[in-house]
Chains A and B, each alone.
Chain A
Amino acid sequence: MTLTAPAPRTGEAAHHLGRPPLVLLAPAVLAAVLLVLPLVTLVLDTPWGTFLTELRSEPVRRALALSALTSLLTVLVCVVLGTPLAWLLARVEFRGRGLLRAAVAVPLVLPPVVAGVALVTALGRNGLVGSLLRETTGLTVPFTTTAVVVAHVFVSMPFYVLSVEGALRTAGERYDVVAATLGATRWTTFRRVTLPLALPGLVAGAVLAWARSLGEFGATITFAGNFPGTTQTMPSLIYTTLQADPAAARTLSMILLVVSVGVLAGLRHRWLRPL
């Protein structure tokens, strides 16, 4: 291990290094304004008088419950399926590993509506897997709550897998070797060494996946539709309300903002130091 001088607290050095140059300061301020201003105006424009009434209304309660249910299920699926995939990418050498990693990352850059269309071709009534499923079991996926979760998993999983893979790589294979010399099987090593060491990465990945799921709109509305009670999540409800009653839409947006910021703040203290 190498010794390094303790890093000076951010800002301390700035005192000695002179003023920040305008050429960096100006765009930085502009960026901050761009990010913060719309949130401030949203808060200002929200009709707070009707906030609680709106919150208790039937469609909002149903959409909120569905958003909570689907986003939690999404995180669950990501953890159960995504953790092993991340482990495979980080720890096992096989042909096409680079290709698989690239494929996993594609949904990150895919427009959500395209993701929805792609899901229809796979799981739609006449899709490759969807038609097979319908013929053999009579079940169809689109326009069900299941479809919402599938769409959310599709767009959220890459965040989770890449975050966990990064954590596994950082933790390194060194302790896996130690565990093997102590007689542990790979499964024991995974449970008792690899996973505990990568836990912060798992939690960060889960939060990212959850946030992505909560805000998901394009893929959901394309693949699952917008039916109150079964597929209408908060973003879909906001979109519908916006056309009829923009003021109510602002209230709903505020609700979503409060929920997501609240959860992030709750987790931040314990798990999300870097965020």
Chain B
Amino acid sequence: MTTPAAAPTAPTAGSSASSAPVQRRRRLTELLLLVVAWTIGIGANILVDPEQASSEPAHVYRSAAVLIGGSLLLHLVLWFRARYADPYILPIVVTLNGLGIAMIHRIDLLMDSSAGTNQVLWTAIGITAAALVLLFLRDHRRLRQFTYISLVVSALLLVLPLLPGLGTEINGARIWISIGARTFQPGEIAKITLAIFFAGYLSTNRDVILLAGPKVGPVRLPRFRDLAPMFAAWLVSIGVLVFQRDLGTAILFFGLFVAMIYLATGRLSWIVLGLLFVAAGGVVASQTFGHVAARLDAWWHAFDPAIYDAPVGGSRQIVQGIFGMASGGLFGQGLGQGRPDLVSYSNSDMIITAFGEELGLIGLSAILLMFFLLISRGFRAALGTPDGFGKLLAGGLASIMVIQLFVVIGGVTRVIPLTGLTTPFMSAGGSSLLSNWIVAALLLAISHSARRPVVTGPASAEDIAEFEAHEREEQERAELHETERAERAERRRQRQQAAEARKATAESKSSEAQS
């Protein structure tokens, strides 16, 4: 169902039914902020090693080309397709991505690896995917038609790594698939499709979930059948992740589930229930899975020498990360001056500590604030968009980012046990970068419908014409559908008749043979 494109007219003054302030397009604001974003992103790439950048500038040129070219492409797409899209999302994302590339490149220089080149390549792929999403998804409400398809797709994506031959196990977690020489985490895409499913399902059923069902004390429990598809989704994600042994992603999916139910119903009891579930699940997991127990030990007794020196599952990584941040202090060692390579996985899971070491508390809090602003823009889009599905989708996508950041940054700062998750837009990892760019594109699309002015007052002749054209189109589609169905029925009848005729001849033949 598409809305007739709203002509951008200002609402009548004094109308209280629709006096939401008209938002300006602010595409120029976006362009100006993008210039600052490029300066930060490319400047960081040069600053990590100025000498190397002047003698071998290939990496700097490559990342500059991808960041500037890619964001200009998206900027143009927004000009033509989503003119009222939020002007802050794109610059923030470009900045974070540029900083991430710089840090990964910087660690490459120390470790002699090539993750930086890969990251630049995946940035280009991610930006292209985002542009395609914005080009082809004219109205985000169309995604609602894919509610149940998304559930199936999520389940398939989550099962893929378990298939023998296709799935690959890295560091004990079986969440990768390998195609050729490359690996990919399908779970990263599944978080988007799951958000689409939850949004579509909950926007249709939230009243039923809220109101039907037995009341236990002050809490009204929803009927089981209203929640069955939700629990199916939940079981699929949790079940597969138990088999894949990836705690971080399991927490992410469960968090998304709880957050979206809360967003849809506004009942605090869901959060309480969710936390109880997590606590119970945590206790069970720590009793049954060795690696979970090791994680808990490494968190709780991180500075215990026995655990610090443990060959497998020790706390060395966390403690080194904390030492790194401590040596960063307030202003940091300066880009290119620290030793982030001392921490294992410093370019993916632990990239936040690398930034803490080189940019200090001031730089790290700037990065955190950028994430905060990005997430607040996501929720702003959710508040502004008129349809329930868009609200839930934008809220859910923003929640994914919140949960992911909490799990990974809480993990490296020893607030909660460390579980491997990527820092959005920063960590080395193609699938994560791709899916986060798609999330950014979806948020941009929803923010466009949130900020776009709507026609108010009586419909104009133009609107009516447009609406009638739409109706005619629908009618034609329905007629086409009808004729197709009639043809199918006709064919079926013919087939049946043929089968009956065949049966009749066969019977007559057999009776002849008997006689």
Are A and B a genuine interacting pair, yes or no? Answer: no
Give the interface of A toward B (CB within 8 A): none
Give the interface of B toward A (CB within 8 A): none
